[in-house]
Amino acid sequence: MRSGPDMMLELACGPGPVCGVDEAGRGPWAGPVSAGAVILDPDRVPKGLNDSKKLSAKARAALEEEIKDVAIAWCVDMAGIEEIAEFNILHATGRAMCRAIEGLSVTPAIALVDGNYRFPLPCEVKTVVKGDALSCSIAAASILAKEARDRLMIEMDALYPGYGFAGHKGYHAPIHVEALRRLGPSPIHRLGWAPVKAAVEQLQLL
């Protein structure tokens, strides 16, 4: 019985560099979607890696620093609201993943990607359902993607006050619903999302 992610999937891929890939922020109403790509050193795998959503903010922050220190290569990229609107959230996510892999200082032979969608990426792809709970590389990528996006949303909270971005990071929350109704969408809201559309329509009726 697994107690958390390990490097078995990476080792099964063979001798070439293997990167884990994961995203953060596909579901929020505001802000970009973030993608992380990480090639871990099998001899220097940080302890405590797990799905970023299962870790405390303190644990994620500490692991982010350690991953960046010990990984063979890592990169984070984001697709903003314009790209999400043009390509839809799924394909915008794939584009961010592609750029994250291309940004690695070492070219991977295989990418282990969280989920079941086979994105067109610049190397061989193996999808792994619930990969961030199975693969250390995917878990590491999920942590980098989430931490980078969370930091950006805290910055956006200062730029666009009143929405509570620092707390909910653009996801559904009562303060977010209320702010949308009161203030309308900010420049970083995803205007195609149903709750954001509804807020715009409501303001237009006033």
Ranges of the chain whose pLDDT falls below 50: 206
**CB of 104 within 8 A of CB of 75?**
yes
Q: How far apart are CA 1 and CA 53, in angstroms?
A: 21
pLDDT tens for each residue of 112-132? 999 999 999 999 999 999 999
Nearest to 143 by CA among 92, 89, 67, 73: 67
Q: How far apart are CA 191 and CA 196, in angstroms?
A: 6
Q: How far apart are CA 66 and CA 140, in angstroms?
A: 10
The model's pTM is: 0.95
Other Cβ atoms less than 10 A from the Cβ of 131: the count is: 25
User: Which structure tokens are listed for 59?
Assistant: 């644990």
SS3 content of the chain, % helix, strand, coil (to 5): 45, 15, 35
DSSP conformation class of 128:
E
pLDDT value at position 205? Answer: 64
**CB of 183 within 8 A of CB of 163?**
yes
pLDDT value at position 107? Answer: 96
pLDDT value at position 53? Answer: 85
pLDDT tens for each residue of 151-163? 999 999 999 999 9
pLDDT value at position 2? Answer: 59
